[in-house]
Amino acid sequence: MKKILHIISQYPGKTGSGTYLNQLIIEGNKKGYTQGLVAALYETERNIQLEISEENFYPVMFNTTKIPFPIVGMSDTMPYNTINYSDMSNEMLTKWKEGFKEAVLRAVDEFKPDVIITHHLWILTSLIRMVIKDIRVIAICHGTDIRQFQKNPRYRHYVVKGCKEIDLVLSLNQEQGKIINNLYSIPKDKIITIGGGFDEEKFYPPDNKLPGHVVKLIYAGKLSYAKGVMSLIRAYNMLNMKEDEIELSIAGAGIGFEEKTIKEAGYNSRLKVNFLGELSQKKLGKVFRNSHIFIMPSFYEGLSLVTIEALATGLMVVASSIGGLKSFLGDKINNSGIIEYVELPKLDNVDLPLKDEIPLYEERLKKAIEKQIYRLKEGYIWNDNVKNRISQLSWINIYNRIEEYF
């Protein structure tokens, strides 16, 4: 049985790419693969919940003598302490590369993997291909890497140099695959559309239909402006409903001023807002089964895994009209009424909405929520075609497709 080494430059277990990584490890364990991991970590948070043996875990420790700064985030706002790639000095970049290079080479020497799965078409993936020539390397694009590529031109030459030599790239959707081919000079025949999925053991519909006398809305994700959470709270308060008729729950964490501002808006909301904090996948599934409508108001996404998880749990959905999500879900789901898309505002610098566009977007978001509330109260029934399409998006099915390319 092959040995698989997973590599990620982020904290392993938070954000979308961390979830993706964890699910690959879980599914790989079910199939009997021996797995190792290289990942960023803080000394104070070594007790992470991963199904990887301690001897096969090669952490790159940040805020240490060797790397005296925080983990560098793939998004500008992360649910843990980070800095941005745009703020890295040349000296910091050198220390960052040295830290990961040392861990990767040690893992290759000791663990002796047959396949490397690396996350993000970014600096670390390029570094891996430059130093590891004789092992098959599969890279997964998550969307945030494309955003970094667009926002940080100083790294582009280095990123392309290694990434274009990767053996295989897994994209989240066909639209993303075209962008990868264009930006990174990676041949089309090396790019496979795989997407993302949901854990069937954690995300499944409730046994009984939830009563609808109080409409329960739910958002899950980072507490950040780019995720549209402030717009969600404002649109929610524009609904023509009474306090005892509706409530909004917000699951997730943020940092700094953005998290503080979002929570203040929630605490001062006319309608009820519950902040649930960070939840495990198991707890999130339970919250989903006790909700009616999931809302994903983000201004930028690669592929929203949490939206797929919400659909798998039987929720109706309101989502920003992200091209990648629409193309991945397909016409059967998109045209079913189970999901209502909201036209995005015009954006500046990838994920920052123009100021004049925000009120218009929030009005559209409000109307989309109203449509789903109306469908809910009218007794919307899922058809079998939608159920079957969603069931195909389970992680086991996603993993079976990835496994073909080992």
Which segments of 112-213 does DSSP mark as H helices, in order?
A: 123-131, 144-151, 156-163, 174-184
**215-391, which class in CATH?**
alpha beta
pLDDT value at position 404?
Answer: 93
Whole-number mean pLDDT of the chain? 92
Q: What is the pLDDT of residues 349-405, one digit of tens each?
A: 666 788 889 999 999 999 999 999 999 999 888 888 888 888 888 999 999 999 999
3-194: which CATH architecture? 3-Layer(aba) Sandwich (3.40)
Q: For a pLDDT cut of 70, what percent of the chain falls above it? A: 98
More confident residue, 289 or 75: 289
SS3 at position 246? strand
pLDDT value at position 47?
Answer: 58
Q: What is the pLDDT of residues 167-190, one digit of tens each?
A: 999 998 888 899 999 999 999 999
Which segments of 185-273 does DSSP mark as H helices, in order?
A: 229-237, 256-267
Residues of the chain with CATH 3.40.50.2000: 3-194, 215-391
DSSP state letter for 314: T
Residue type, 6: H
pLDDT value at position 254?
Answer: 87
Does residue 46 register a pLDDT over 90? no
Does residue 49 register a pLDDT over 90? no
Q: What is the pLDDT of residues 84-115, one digit of tens each?
A: 999 999 999 999 999 999 999 999 999 999 99
Residues 311-317: what's their mean pLDDT? 95
pLDDT value at position 350?
Answer: 63
